[in-house]
Amino acid sequence: MAATELKAQARTGVGKGAARALRRQGLIPAVIYGDKKPPVPVTISYNEAMKRIYAGGFLSHVITLDVDGEKHRVIPRDYQLDPVKDFPLHVDFLRIGAGSRLNVQVHVTFINEEQSPGIKRGGVLNIVHHTLDLNCPADAIPDHVTIDLTGLDVGDSIHIGAVQLPPGVQPHTHEADLTVATIVAPSGMRSEEGEAGAAESAAEGEAKE
């Protein structure tokens, strides 16, 4: 994933009053921290922050933050939104040192639904996790993880251990083999199977009598 660049300016004022004054100017207070260096208070454009946050994947994109000509390689680690109006109030950026690895949430995409026998028969793709918690080299954070549905039938499950991840990328989860998605039967098929099972049980009961 290539790093994009974002302009920023150093700031000296702190506190709620200073933050409100910045927002009136179309700026958002932010801070750069980490990599065993002192935190650097900065401001970024409100419009740029809005655009990047609502574009999706904001917390998994490496950014080159240009602070008055001095460039910092960072990744957004957190942001605060106004609880009523949903506009950004503050952003935290984490510095990325050489050889850093990061835990990030990466979006999952599914392909070849038309090659899934289960979906062809009317089965439904039940997505358990739309994103995966992954440990990645800071220089190689994937934009997304692709899962191929070819050959999957009703009742099949996709576990993270079977997902092909890019080189150097590892799952970061406490579950031994996290279920990402399953192919489930549609309600009509389940009803038919239930009725067939009941009829079979009844027939077996009659045979025993």
Domain that holds residue 119: 102-204
Contacts of 204 (CB under 8 A, 6+ apart): none
Give phi and psi for 20, each to the nearest 5: -65, -40
Is the pLDDT confidence value at 77 over 80?
A: yes
Q: What's 76's domain CATH number?
A: 2.40.240.10
pLDDT tens per residue, range 88-110 = 899 999 999 878 899 999 999 99
pLDDT tens per residue, range 124-180 = 999 999 999 999 998 888 889 999 999 999 999 999 999 999 999 999 988 878 999
Q: What does pTM read for this prediction?
A: 0.72
Last residue of a domain, one of 69, 97, 125: 97
**Residue 65 domain-assigned?**
yes
Last residue of a domain, one of 70, 97, 124: 97
Task: Classify each residue of 68-99 as buried b or exposed e, where b means 16 or more C-beta atoms within 10 Å of its C-beta.
Answer: eeeebbbbbeebeeeeeeeebbebbbbbbeee
